[in-house]
Amino acid sequence: MSYKAIKLSIAALLAGGTLQAQNNNLVQYVNPLIGTAKMGHTYPGATVPFGAVQLSPDTDTIPYAGPDGKYTGTAYRYCAGYQYDDPTIVGFSHTHFSGTGHSDLGDFLIMPTTGQLQLNPGTADKPETGYRSRFSHSNEVAAPNYYKVKLDDHNILAEMTTTTRVGVHQYTFPKSDDAHIILDLMHGIYNYDDKNTWTFVRVENDTLITGYKQTHGWAKTRTVYFAMSFSKPIQSYGYAQFKSRYTRASGDGLM
Amino acid sequence: MFNPTSAYPLSQYWMHTIAADTIVQYYFNDNSKGIDPFVGPVYKNQPKALLRTMDDDGGAMSAWYVFAAMGLYPAVVGEPVYYLHVPQFQSIDLPISGNSRFRIHIKNYNPRHKYIKSLYLDGKPYTKNYLLHSDIMKGGQLIIETAENINGANTQLETWRSKYQ
């Protein structure tokens, strides 16, 4: 079986700090999985000190509030996007809070897939109904600024690291006639109807995509921008536009 | 919270206990909701690391643990003052710059000892229950002699009180 790796880097233009020199001897003791179960609200993904990018897996899409506007209690478990006991990964988004008692962010979710193209995340109990994938902790490595996991449903090895402003993805695909990279601009943490006030994407050429989104969440009228470059040219692309009133948990909403 | 008072050995006890010992935590204090209390250490090196309703607060709780394990407690936000208690380790080196370091060393290390009996800063007896940030940044060595029981705790140390009342 032959494998091909696609490298992908996303530069997010956000305010940020500077990279500090670290003593490598101490880094081996860091365990990013501490606090990822229950209510620790930490994430296991890749980031650097004062980095503008926190590239980390999100394990569910529980909205902050349903269509009736009522707060969803279980959303509180997903302040950092990741719950250790969850069986699936929806994708890898570029911004996360660590250990907060409220939440937001989860911008620019990327998910590599194989097989039938699906534009909906699907549900945790039926991951095959969407682009999400089952995973296992035995195939997962979380280290300072490095995260690796095997996406079982797609047979893809996902690896990621970051710089101060760039999230670097490396996906090793199996040989397949049908392979995709999903970019979900509507995904978010503490998402709710109309939280995304504007999302925009432009395909500049066969290796570059740019775009931005504006959200009305914890931070009002927050705008984040990205430029996404691929190590292999895009063969074809497409998009789905969703109704403005759209609840991810219900799984419907395609126009 | 006892640190600025004459009862500061109680702070030494609680810092040591909360950082590493098994604690019993009741929810809603009087346990009126009938929820089983949490029994165990507050911090663990595993995914389920913290108390049931506790999160890491943007790294603040992890930072609190690191301070607690080092025997230092930031007195108040914005003031360069650390109250002292007994660290979790016999010896701790804080690299300052180049080869310079500040070492905190327990002379008679014992995990059960939670009280400060005497202090020596750079070989000389030290009579305060706090260090300034500038003391640490100068480099040097703080030797701590510990006591197992509160009767052995030093109660003659000079304490620090915030000017904000």
Domain boundaries, chain B: 8-152
Q: Would the pLDDT of A79 be above 80?
A: yes
In this structure, what CATH number is given to the domain that contains residue A136? 2.70.98.10
**Alpha-carbon radius of gyration of chain B:** 17
Please indicate if any CB of chain A lies within 8 Å of the CB of B125.
no
pLDDT of residue A96: 97
The rounded distance, in Å, linking the Cα atoms of B56 and B63 is: 9
pLDDT digits (tens, 9 = 90+) for A18-41: 334 445 578 888 999 999 999 999
Q: Give the structural domain span for A215.
A: 3-250
Q: How do strand B140-147 and strand B100-106 relate by DSSP bridges?
A: parallel
For residues B121 and B125, what is the distance between their CA atoms, to the nearest angstrom?
6
Reduce the DSSP state of residue B135 to 3 states and report it: helix
- B163–chain A Cβ distance below 8 A for any pair: no
* Residue A206 near residue A237, CB atoms below 8 Å: no
Mean pLDDT in residue range A94-109? 95
CATH superfamily of B8-152: GH92 mannosidase domain (3.30.2080.10)
> Is A144 within a domain?
yes
- pLDDT, one tens digit per residue, over A227-242 is 999 999 999 999 887 7
Partnered with residue A91 across adjacent β-strands are: A58
What percent of chain B clears pLDDT 90, i.e. is strictly above it?
65
Of B50, B54, B59, the CB nearest to A98: B59
Minimal C-alpha gap between B8 and chain A (Å): 31
The rounded distance, in Å, linking the Cα atoms of B142 and B119 is 7
In this predicted complex, what is the ipTM?
A: 0.81
Average pLDDT over residues A48-56: 96
Is the minimum CB–CB distance between B58 and chain A shorter than 8 Å? yes
Distance CA B43, CA A17 (A): 29
Q: How many CB atoms lie within 10 A of CB B69?
A: 17
Tell me the pLDDT band of B163, cut-offs 50, 70 and 90: confident
In a domain, A255, yes or no: no
Among A230, A95, A88, A107, CA closest to A173 = A230
Classify strands B140-147 and B115-121 as parallel, antiparallel or unpaired. antiparallel
Threshold 0.80, pTM exceeds: yes
Total domains, chain A: 1
Q: How close is the nearest chain B Cα to the Cα of A161, in Å?
A: 20
Residue A215 has what pLDDT? 94
For residue B116, the SS3 value is strand
Tell me the average pLDDT of chain B: 91
Contact B51, B42 (CB under 8 A): yes
